Amino acid sequence: MRFLASIAVLLSTPAVAAVVSADPHDLTIRETVQVSASTDAAWSAFLRVGQWWSAEHSYSGKAVNLSLDAKPGGCFCERVGDGGVEHMRVAVALPGKRLVMTGSLGPLLYEATAGVMDVTFDASAGGTAVTMEYRASGFAQGNADKLAPVVDQVLGEQLRRYAASMK
């Protein structure tokens, strides 16, 4: 029995992921990871987005071109050659507690969506639970329910990379 419990622990992923809801015009994704750091350290690491975001999910192909200015009106932006991309705009910045950004990530921009990413940092036994919830609405083509699993996969990958960067 202990052997089976050990295997279950080894096979478990560090993120809890879910497509909370999806219909043709709206989706909600929630991802949670546990990190063994204080809420302030978890916050600081999250802001170093260029160190943990996947280059495969960037316009420039280089994660180091990503930046996140965590103040109201600040930008989650990316340098691309002589230009750039505004991925999201910071609406709420409460260091060590909550970061809320608005905008449409990646290809969702071209789907005529409006999005909100709400990231919370909650003290828990052994560290911090970091939860990223992303809600997008609009979807002119009405395919949010089909895109939701892909969005969940991409955001889950980013949050797992973030958690791994904390080790």
CATH number at 77 reads 3.30.530.20
Question: How far is it, in rounded angstroms, from Cα 90 to Cα 101?
Answer: 4
CA nearest neighbour of 26 among 143, 151, 118: 143
Q: What is the pLDDT of residue 99?
A: 98
Q: What is the pLDDT of residue 167?
A: 87
What is the per-residue pLDDT across 114-162, written as a single tens digit (0 to 9) for each?
999 999 999 999 999 999 999 999 999 999 999 999 999 999 999 999 9
Q: What is the pLDDT of residue 15?
A: 61
- Residue 147 falls within a domain, yes or no? yes
- Residue 48 falls within a domain, yes or no? yes
List the domain range (segments joined by +) for residue 105. Answer: 15-165
Split into its structural domains, the chain has a count of 1
Comparing 1 with 57, the larger pLDDT belongs to: 57
- Residue 58 falls within a domain, yes or no? yes
- Residue 10 falls within a domain, yes or no? no
Counting Cα atoms < 13 Å in the Cβ hemisphere of 116 gives 10
Q: What is the pLDDT of residue 29?
A: 97
